[in-house]
Amino acid sequence: MSQDINAVMNEYLPLRDVVFQTLRQAILRGELEPGERLMEIHLANRLGVSRTPIREAIRKLELEGLVVMIPRRGAIVASITEKDLQDVLEVRRTLEIMAGEMACERITPELLQQLEEAGREFMKLKDTDEFTSLAEVDVKFHDIIYAATDNQRLITILNNLREQMYRYRLEYLKDTGSHERLNSEHCQIYEGIKRGDKAAVSEAIGTHIDNQRDAILAAIRKGEQSQNPEKAEKTE
């Protein structure tokens, strides 16, 4: 296992749900990496639980597509395919643009100030290698735009779509060359929302998501080539 994983106990949730949410977040955040085996005994010992809730959690994760069962290997963390990425970001692009346009009409002065502050936080961090902090501030920036829509259903869908890509977010941010571009995109989005310019916001958010898609696709292809060098040579 790549990192220690600790179950966050919740007195209002059954143990099986706590274990499921713990493993799910570990996968989404990259603590359990694509291709990593999920060994029931090992996980049970790590989380201090029996194998039963681990087994139940793995079944649910398989239904979500986050885990796959491989003959003679057992359960492993699923890798995201290019098709998965395209599907998620195609939907997310459309909904992020919708959220940005709605924010142009509905954002409050308080949320606009918070959006500006989040942009400044990212700017302060963009020349550092504090990738986790950068990811958190990037999430905060977009959360404020979501909140400005005042549409809880849209917020829930966008958060779910973003979670599915979270494990690749840090890889994207590890490319320090992307930080200046991201900062510029945040500024364009903020200025557009401040002016209430839906066309400018739509274009800026579309570019923002497209650049993320291209960077993550490149990371996926690079990973595939490193795991299958012979295949990579044949395709060149």
CATH number for the domain that contains residue 56: 1.10.10.10
- The pLDDT mean for the chain works out to 87
Section 124-148 average pLDDT: 92
pLDDT for the residue 236: 47
Q: Between 88 and 65, whose confidence is greater?
A: 88
The token pair at 226 is: 């490193």
Section 2-19 average pLDDT: 69
**CA angle, 112 as apex, 118 and 175 as ends, to 5°?**
30
29 and 121 inside one domain: no
119 and 90 inside one domain: yes
C-alpha 231/C-alpha 25 separation (Å) is 32
Give me the helices (H) in 107-197, please: 109-125, 131-149, 152-173, 178-195
Domain end marker among 77, 101, 121? 77
pLDDT for the residue 31: 85
pLDDT at 84 over 90: no
C-alpha 213/C-alpha 207 separation (Å) is 10
Neighbours of 195 (CB within 10 A): 11
Residue 42: inside a domain, yes or no? yes
Highest mean pLDDT among 11-15, 99-103, 165-169: 99-103
pLDDT digit string (tens) for 187-204? 999 999 999 999 999 999
Q: Between 10 and 162, whose confidence is greater?
A: 162
pLDDT at 142 over 80: yes
117 and 209 inside one domain: yes
Structural domain range at position 143 = 82-226
- The region of weakest confidence among 9-23, 42-56, 136-150 is 9-23
Q: What percent of the chain has pLDDT over 70?
A: 88
